[in-house]
């Protein structure tokens, strides 16, 4: 890592939830992986440091994917004409079962990590499968790529086929401990996260055992919450003693509080669930593309933002068909407009500024001071060449960023830095 | 044009509305611009003709964009956080007024036509602006590109700013006749289409004069219909003597029947409007991305299909931010799922097969026998290289096509033929 260096270009970042700051031809300075601020001129004390000259290009914080299933990348954009539970049984479980085969896992995970590497994502919260060894292969590959990620070996001991179900809660716990002993401290950029698949896949006994592991290792947790009406009814049947889906995690202490937690989807929260998520500081991973593809619905993100709850974006591959978080920003805006029109016109659609916040600083907060160019933030940056997005008129830096959100793909990414390291 | 030639590759086309036919490693034969059918082996009578060997690539019919505004391409993906009428006044009208400047028009239209040329579109129904000369520049550029298009000089004589409003119905008629005299018979691939912008922009007198022109020249017509709730209320006020928006066109004979007509959007049709559209054979241009971006709503496409009404897809740039009709297919599926979930679960979501039909044969029917590889269809074809869409498992040709619909961009297009001519 170069200890101190500077980037020069057209700089964009979220100053606040509803405000993108755009500063033409300015400087960023990175020292030891930490951003020193945005400067109109390179300060005297940094004269002589290495400079990356990206004038006329746009520089943004790296993008954060708060929810993605690595083993599902193989069947992205296939066979999505069904709802969640049928889709899990038809596509997901048979595919994930293949990851017992380490050669298949390696081949598939290499494709996933290569895509993530050439894309805009710099941080990710990743689901693997229940298999310990192939999960470690995925973690090895992510470590090599430089992407900072939390990765979860999945826990699931009920309601799935024999070839994708842990034999018992005891076995699931034992495998999880074996995995943790192997990976803890092994990586610079990658860390484990506890990953009960979702309530229908986890017995009470398994949840209790995972709770013990969580307290012992102080691990963060990721799972799914209130994605689909049929799923929610199923959880009500499975957990007759809880008042909402979230409580089924909370009663084991796996729902925020001292246990940093990401819950994906949160499409149909009850008032009680919203209050509980807020009290516990649960991160919401909004996955608009997946919620559309699986006909789940549209999450009330404006409600979460108005309640000052932490929200980021997830690609949710392969419920989503693309890993792009720029695409997730566009999707988040689009579905919020349809929700305003079709469901509840008291919740105004998300703006470009808000969607950009969600995909950078909003999700980044799960990883610490991540997702902004304010002083003291970890130095994750993208350099974007928008010269292929032709236009006959003058455009401001903000307008060019808006276009990149809607129209860019990996061709536009010409530089990527993660925690001060050029990838 | 090569008079007779063959393509070899993995061939996909719509056999019926709900059925994509996929035939691995097969042959297409083109004679004089007309497809002779799909063959597992090259028939003896064609031995010796020029062969384009596209083995391992996917070959589909060219895509049809039934609704696109060429002058709005310049501001695609910008400033979409508003509804239709505000968006027209804020973005569209000021930009379209610039096309009085022929140099600006040329520069802007060159960018639009270049994008269309490198994309998957082979046929398009295009709005220009009210300006005669710049409309002709656009037609010249499209003619050069080889894309087959109908192009409309827009008519509008009310409810728009002074710099984008024709001074009177008489003047609008005179300009339209001047334009027609100049362009009729001038082109091989491009033809004029009568284009009253929409009812709020056109006085009764103008509509009556356009009706005369339509009958004199037997021109097709394109316009907008029932896009936005506020717009529909406005039309009710403007046309108190009509029972539905469509009738405001129909009473001048500009709504199907002997006058081939495309109506864009049709998001909120009344029962009466559906019946009238069906009776008149009006083509519906479904523009899901635009209807989302402008918070308009979601059109009931399943209703139109069940009624055997003609439907195709439109990019509606710049209500839509991309000219890609593959993207429009994906968007059509996605919004139909949200409509099923949020509005009316009696209308099943569109399938991949149906969306592909809409973007090829469905819209193609407006141009004649276009959009399929059945014998006798005009020979429009795309050759798609999907090798960058990596996967660890075996995929069928149909699955590869499904991926291309969701994930492809112009990089995947390695060959394009329009009416038997290689572009």
Per the CB < 8 Å rule, is A341 touching B77?
Answer: no
Domains and CATH numbers, chain A: 4-61+373-422 (2.30.40.10), 63-367 (3.20.20.140)
Helix, strand, or coil (residue A175): helix
Q: Which chain B positions have a beta carbon within 8 Å of A293's beta carbon?
A: 334, 337
Among all residues of chain B, which has the CA nearest to that of A109?
Answer: B392
Per the CB < 8 Å rule, is B407 touching A77?
Answer: yes
Q: Which residue has the tokens 């566009």?
A: A330
Helix, strand, or coil (residue B229): helix
Helix, strand, or coil (residue A203): coil
> Quick check: bond before A211 cis, omega within 30?
no
Among all residues of chain B, which has the CA nearest to that of A71?
Answer: B392
Among all residues of chain A, which has the CA nearest to that of B397?
Answer: A78
Helix, strand, or coil (residue B285): strand
Helix, strand, or coil (residue B394): coil
Q: In what order do the strands lie in the sheet with B283-286?
A: B221-225, B261-265, B283-286, B311-313
**DSSP assigned state of B240:** T
Give the whole-angstrom CA distance, residue A50 versus residue A4: 7
Give the whole-angstrom CA distance, residue A241 versus residue A264: 23
Per the CB < 8 Å rule, is A338 touching B115?
Answer: no
Which of A22, A70, A78 should we substitute to test contact with B (largest number of B Cβ atoms within 10 Å)? A78
Using the predicted structure, report yes or no on whether residue B157 has a pLDDT greater than 60: yes
User: Which residues, 6+ apart, have CB-to-CB distance to B400 below 8 Å?
Assistant: B10, B58, B386, B389
**A63-72 pLDDT per residue, tens:** 999 999 999 9
Element spanning B31, H or E:
strand B19-31
**B46-79 pLDDT per residue, tens:** 999 999 999 999 999 999 999 999 999 999 999 9
Using the predicted structure, report yes or no on whether residue B419 has a pLDDT greater than 90: yes
Q: Which chain B positions have a beta carbon within 8 Å of A294's beta carbon?
A: 337
**B313-326 pLDDT per residue, tens:** 999 999 999 999 99
Give the whole-angstrom CA distance, residue A244 versus residue A273: 6
Q: In what order do the strands lie in the sheet with A381-384?
A: A34-39, A19-31, A4-16, A50-61, A381-384, A413-418, A421-422
Using the predicted structure, report yes or no on whether residue A1 has a pLDDT greater than 60: no
Q: Are B261 and B282 in contact (CB under 8 A)?
A: yes
How much of chain B, in percent, has pLDDT values that exceed 70?
Answer: 100
Q: What is the ipTM for the molecules in this complex? A: 0.98
Q: Which chain A positions have a beta carbon within 8 Å of B356's beta carbon?
A: none
Q: What is the pLDDT of residue A3?
A: 87
Q: Are A116 and A126 in contact (CB under 8 A)?
A: no
Q: What is the mean pLDDT of residues B27-40?
A: 97
Q: Which chain A positions have a beta carbon within 8 Å of B289's beta carbon?
A: 334
Give the whole-angstrom CA distance, residue B338 versus residue B343: 8
Per the CB < 8 Å rule, is A78 touching B402?
Answer: yes
Give the distance, in angstroms, between the CA of residue B34 and the centroid of all CA atoms in the same chain.
21
**What is the value of pTM for the model shown?**
0.98
Q: Are B240 and B259 in contact (CB under 8 A)?
A: no
Minimal CA separation from A119 to chain B, in Å: 14
Per the CB < 8 Å rule, is A392 touching B74?
Answer: yes
Q: Which chain A positions have a beta carbon within 8 Å of B339's beta carbon?
A: 342
Minimal CA separation from A355 to chain B, in Å: 12
B196 CB-side CA count, 13 A: 32
Using the predicted structure, report yes or no on whether residue A2 has a pLDDT greater than 80: no
CA distances from B385 to A347, B9, B27, B32, B123 (A): 43, 11, 17, 26, 21
Per the CB < 8 Å rule, is A79 touching B114?
Answer: no
Q: Which chain A positions have a beta carbon within 8 Å of B78's beta carbon?
A: 395, 399, 402-403
Q: Using CB atoms within 10 A of its CB, is residue B165 exposed (0-12), middle (13-18) or buried (19+)? A: middle
Per the CB < 8 Å rule, is B292 touching A337?
Answer: yes
Using the predicted structure, report yes or no on whether residue A164 has a pLDDT greater than 60: yes
Among all residues of chain B, which has the CA nearest to that of A294?
Answer: B337
Q: Using CB atoms within 10 A of its CB, is residue B321 exposed (0-12), middle (13-18) or buried (19+)? A: buried
Q: What is the pLDDT of residue B3?
A: 87
**A93-113 pLDDT per residue, tens:** 999 999 999 999 999 999 999
Nearest CB to A297; choose among B297, B341, B399: B341
């Amino acid at each position: 890592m170069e200890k101190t260096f500077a980037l020069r270009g057209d700089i964009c970042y979220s100053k606040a939830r509803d405000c993108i700051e755009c500063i033409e031809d300015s400087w960023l300075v990175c020292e030891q992986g930490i951003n020193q601020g945005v400067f109109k001129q390179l300060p005297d004390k940094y004269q002589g440091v290495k400079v990356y000259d990206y004038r006329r290009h746009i520089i943004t914080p790296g993008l954060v994917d708060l929810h993605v299933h690595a083993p599902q990348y193989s069947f992205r954009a296939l066979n999505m004409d069904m709802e969640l539970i049928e889709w899990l049984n038809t596509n997901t479980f048979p595919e994930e079962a293949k990851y017992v085969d380490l050669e298949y896992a390696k081949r598939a995970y290499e494709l996933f990590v290569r895509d993530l590497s050439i894309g805009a994502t710099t941080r990710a919260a990743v689901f693997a499968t229940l298999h310990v060894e192939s999960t470690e292969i995925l973690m090895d590959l992510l470590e090599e790529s430089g992407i900072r990620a939390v990765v979860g070996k999945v826990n699931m001991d009920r309601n799935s086929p024999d070839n994708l179900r842990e034999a018992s809660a005891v076995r699931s716990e034992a495998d999880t401990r074996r995995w943790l002993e192997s990976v803890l401290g092994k990586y610079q950029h990658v860390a484990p996260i506890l990953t009960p698949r979702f309530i229908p896949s986890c017995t009470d006994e398994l949840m209790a055992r995972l709770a013990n592991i969580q307290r012992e290792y102080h691990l963060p947790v990721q799972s799914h919450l209130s994605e689909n009406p049929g799923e929610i009814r199923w959880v009500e049947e499975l957990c007759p003693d809880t008042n909402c889906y979230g409580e089924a995690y909370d009663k084991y202490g796996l729902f925020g509080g001292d246990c940093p937690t990401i819950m994906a989807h949160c499409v149909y929260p009850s008032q009680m669930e919203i209050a509980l998520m807020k009290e516990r500081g649960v991160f919401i991973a909004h996955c608009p593309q997946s919620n559309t593809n699986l006909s789940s619905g549209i999450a009330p993100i404006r409600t979460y933002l108005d309640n000052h709850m932490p929200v980021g974006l997830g690609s949710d591959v392969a419920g989503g068909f693309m890993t792009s978080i720029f695409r997730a920003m566009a999707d988040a805006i689009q579905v919020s407009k349809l929700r305003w029109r079709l469901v509840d016109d008291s919740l105004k659609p998300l703006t470009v500024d808000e969607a950009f916040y969600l995909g950078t600083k909003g999700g980044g907060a799960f990883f610490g001071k991540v997702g902004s160019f304010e002083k003291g933030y970890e130095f994750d940056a993208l350099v974007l060449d928008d010269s292929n997005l032709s236009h006959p008129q003058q455009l401001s830096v903000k307008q060019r960023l808006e276009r990149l959100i809607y129209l860019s793909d990996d061709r536009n990414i010409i530089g990527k830095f993660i925690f001060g390291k050029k990838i």
